[in-house]
Amino acid sequence: MDKVRYKLDFVDNEVNQDASLFLDPYSIAKCEFPFASRARRTFKSFFDHLLTMLQTSRIKKAEELFSHLGETNEISLGFSRNKPQGKGMGPSDAAKIFVSLSESKAFLTGIMEDIEDFRIFVPNVDKDKMSDMTANIIKKHLIEYTQQQCKLWGIPVVSSVPSGYYWERNKDNWENTYTDMLIVDSRKILLVPKRIVSFSKVNGKYNTFY
**Helix extents (H) in the chain:** 25-30, 34-55, 59-65, 91-102, 105-109, 118-121, 127-137, 139-153
Q: What SS3 state is found at 86?
A: coil
> How big is the CA angle at 65 (ends 59 and 69), to the nearest 5 degrees?
135
Distance CA 103, CA 108 (A): 8
Q: Does 165 score more than 60 pLDDT?
A: yes
> How big is the CA angle at 59 (ends 67 and 71), to the nearest 5 degrees?
15
Torsion angle of C-alpha atoms 204, 194, 142, 146, degrees rounded to 10: -120
Nearest to 185 by CA among 150, 151, 158: 158
CB half-sphere exposure, 130, CA atoms < 13 A: 23
Return the top range by mean pLDDT from 48-62, 69-83, 116-130: 48-62
The predicted pLDDT at position 179 comes to 98
Distance CA 151, CA 144 (A): 11
Nearest to 27 by CA among 145, 191, 141, 196: 196
Q: What is the pTM of this model?
A: 0.82
pLDDT in tens, 33-68: 999 999 999 988 998 898 888 888 888 888 888 888
The predicted pLDDT at position 86 comes to 47
Return the higher-pLDDT residue of 9 and 19.
9
Distance CA 10, CA 29 (A): 18
Summary count for the chain: helices (H), strands (E): 8, 9
Q: Does 1 score more than 50 pLDDT?
A: no
Beta-sheet pairing, 187-189 with 178-184? antiparallel
Q: Does 201 score more than 60 pLDDT?
A: no
